[in-house]
Amino acid sequence: MNIQTIMVIGAGQMGSGIAQVCAMAGYSVYLHDLKEEFVEKGMGIIQKNLSRQVEKGRMAEDEKTAVLERLTSSTELKNAEKCDLIIEAVVENMEVKTNLFKILDEFAPEHAILASNTSSLPITEIAASTKRPEKVIGMHFMNPVPVMKLVEIIRGLQTADDVYETIENVSRKLSKVPVEVNDFPGFISNRILMPMINEAIFAVYEGVATPEAVDEIMKLGMNHPMGPLTLADFIGLDTCLYIMETLHEGFGDDKYRPCPLLRKYVKAGWLGKKSGKGFYDYQ
């Protein structure tokens, strides 16, 4: 399947990164969010990232201009009519995602693939909200998208082989490494990563060590680039909580129970780096 125009829905930290790498790979891209100001914020992040590439001598100024020209702001879902691939990167909530997929199914051309960047939610259930479940797939990028090489590709129960192959090829064109997994809660990446983060939060909750000590131990002792609590703040504590809830509900095992401290922080609006406060301060 020939993909030329991509729509990225959600201009937050993931959506802006996905739109950036798609435009850099030569695709025409619509970056969509609920309000113009949200799209502008995402576009601002992209401009800053590209300017850094130019300053470092890795990108020519006219190349930057060409990448930016391939990006179009959108607040109208009707723009999906012009797209071959739609990548959804909105909040990690099944109801929000299925409502969106129902609308996209109406607007997107028949041949278009609907992909979700969900961290943990069942692709099969998202697909069932559309009349084209064979064209729905998980395309899970890692944060920060311009830097991280992996795209975890999740096959829903009904995802067609040619759709999988198309998404594998698009991922390679984005200079990413695709890895195939089946549809199970948290897939592979977050089934393994998120219980570690949750355990680190439990260690702080139980007073075993400070966040600084936990992070220092995992950085220096295990060679992790970021400690688990710095990483949780970086991912977003709301996203971490929603992923743990999906694992807990999906497997029904107490080992996935979200730490009460994580719930408390999210209820307080302490969402990590994006809100200015989490386990650390970012003012």
Instruction: From the list ligand NAD, ligand CAA, none, pick the one residue 10 interacts with, judged by a Cβ distance below 5 to 8 Å according to partner type.
Output: ligand NAD
Q: Is 140 a catalytic residue?
A: yes
HEC profile of the chain = CCCCEEEEECCCHHHHHHHHHHHHCCCEEEEECCCHHHHHHHHHHHHHHHHHHHHCCCCCHHHHHHHHHCEEEECCHHHHHHCCEEEECCCCCHHHHHHHHHHHHHHCCCCCEEEECCCCCCHHHHHHCCCCHHHEEEEEECCCCCCCCEEEEEECCCCCHHHHHHHHHHHHHCCCEEEEEECCCCCCHHHHHHHHHHHHHHHHHCCCCCHHHHHHHHHHHHCCCCCHHHHHHHHCHHHHHHHHHHHHHHHCCHHHCCCHHHHHHHHCCCCEHHHCECCCECC
- Contact positions with ligand NAD (CB under 6 A) in 261-280: 274
Q: Is 119 a catalytic residue?
A: yes
Q: Is 182 a catalytic residue?
A: no
Identify the active-site residue in 74, 171, 190, 198.
Answer: 190
Which tokens go with 192? Answer: 């393994």
Ramachandran area for residue 269 (φ above 0: left; ψ -120 to 50: alpha; else beta): left
Minimum distance of ligand NAD from residue 141's CB (angstroms): 6
- Contact positions with ligand CAA (CB under 6 A) in 120-159: 142-144, 146-148
144 vs 250, beta carbon nearer ligand CAA: 144
Instruction: From the list ligand CAA, ligand NAD, none, pick the one residue 148 interacts with, judged by a Cβ distance below 5 to 8 Å according to partner type.
Output: ligand CAA
Identify the active-site residue in 88, 116, 140, 168.
Answer: 140
83 vs 211, beta carbon nearer ligand CAA: 211
- The answer to whether residue 153 forms part of the interface with ligand NAD (CB under 6 A) is no
Q: Is it true that the peptide bond before 144 is cis, omega within 30 degrees of 0?
A: yes
Among 74, 116, 129, 189, binds ligand CAA (CB under 6 A): 189
Minimum distance of ligand CAA from residue 147's CB (angstroms): 4
59 vs 278, beta carbon nearer ligand NAD: 278
Site size for ligand CAA (CB under 6 A): 18
Q: Is 143 a catalytic residue?
A: no
80 vs 243, beta carbon nearer ligand CAA: 243
- The answer to whether residue 171 forms part of the interface with ligand CAA (CB under 6 A) is no
Among 98, 143, 158, 275, binds ligand NAD (CB under 6 A): 143
- Which positions lie near ligand NAD, rule CB under 6 A? 9-15, 33-34, 38, 89-92, 96, 100, 117-119, 141, 143, 235-236, 239, 274
